[in-house]
Structure 1
Amino acid sequence: MQIFENIQAASPDDFQEIVDVWEASVRATHHFLKEEDIQYFKPLILNEFLQAVNLFCIRNERGHIVGFLGTVKDKIEMLFIDPFNIEKGVGKLLLHYAISQLGAKKVDVNEDNHQAVDFYKHMGFQVVSRSDVDSMGKPYPILSMELVP
């Protein structure tokens, strides 16, 4: 589809730039995280998590990654946008791609990331469960959300 022409599969050559986008995005939106948590997750994302997902990115006219998406089966495992491109349609485009092209129906969101929770609710997702800790056992509540048909 032409609407998705700027979305492309990411390669290992893109991983460092993707981690840079992740870190900038997290610093702009995850104010509840401690610095040591960001430093803890950063190498895990670079060396493990990016390889464990179907990874796609969207680039600007200069070829720089402005957002990325990682899925496993029908679940969005990561969707992060460069802070300068938040609220410019990049996240919505990546989410539509995940749903229509990859069959995504589920996502887990940090409860304290109100911007993301509101975004997914606006896009038709609803909370189906809550966990007091994240997948690594850290004390950051997670909302499991699913797309409402």
Structure 2
Amino acid sequence: MIRPSRPGDAARNLEIWRGAVDATHDFLSPQHRSEIDATVAGWLPTAELQVLVDGADRPLGFMALSGDHVDALFVDPALHGRGLGRTLIAHARSLHDSLSLDVNEQNPRAVGFYERLGFERTGRSPIDDQGRPYPLVHMALRP
């Protein structure tokens, strides 16, 4: 089931984010990882998220959308490869005819995941949104 986030989800969503980043973002410098963690820890409790939960209503993954742009998608790393990310994208697709997102170029598993779902590369930025040296691949999924 996918539902809107609730205040009580914040700690679990941060746990999911940290685990997923630790599993997939080994390219981050320790300083940048710490800075990003502080930003996300402040943002997640107030963010409007779509949360994928199990039968006991425990978050397993989440997605943030700004209109048709996927701002964030993270799944508990113990559950990677089980279709949860695909389910979240299908949910976003049920809300919007087309989708866009940015993904770290240094995370080839994520780039490949989105390509397998039909996203196409539309551009590239040499730095991330905060000006850090982590290139972004811009991607879109069209109707």
Same fold (TM over 0.5): yes
2:57 to 59, 63, 80: 63
In the alignment, the residues of structure 1 paired with residue 115 and residue 107 of structure 2 have an alpha-carbon distance, to the nearest angstrom, of 13
Match of 2:122 in 1: 128
- For residues 58 and 51 of structure 1, what CA distance do their matches in structure 2 show? 17
8 A contact 2:124–2:135 mirrored in 1? yes
Query: Which of 72, 80, 88 lines up with 2:74 in the alignment?
Result: 80
Structure 1 residue 16: deviation in Å?
Answer: 1.9
Contact 1:24 1:82 in 2 (8 A): yes
| Cα distance in structure 2, aligned partners of 1:95 and 1:31 | 24
Q: What is the identity, as a one-letter code, of the residue corresponding to 1:115? A: R
* Cα drift, residue 13 of structure 1: 2.3
Equivalent in the alignment of 2:107: 113
1:35 to 1:64, Cα distance in 2 relative to 1, 3 A: farther
Report the RMSD for the aligned CA atoms in angstroms: 1.6
| Distance in 2, Cα, partners of 1:26 & 1:95 | 19
Counterpart residue type for residue 29 of structure 2: K
Could you say what secondary structure the match of 1:71 adopts? strand
Alpha-carbon distance, 1:62 to partner: 3.8
Structure 1 runs (4+) deviating above 2 angstroms are: 48-52, 60-64, 101-104
> 1:110–1:141: 8 Å Cα contact kept in structure 2?
yes
How big is the shift at 1:61? 3.2
Please give the alpha-carbon distance, in whole angstroms, between the structure 2 residues aligned to 1:30 and 1:75.
21
AA matched with 1:18 = N
Between Structure 1 and Structure 2, how many residues are aligned?
143
Match of 2:12 among 4, 12, 17: 17
Cα gap change, 1:120 to 1:83, in 2 (>3 Å): same
Q: Residues 63-84 of structure 1: CA distance to partner in whole angstroms, max 9, x if unpaired?
A: 3211100000110000001011
Structure 1 119/23 Cα, relative in aligned 2: closer, same or farther at 3 Å? same
Describe the SS at the equivalent of 1:117: helix
User: 3-state SS of the aligned residue for 1:48?
Assistant: helix
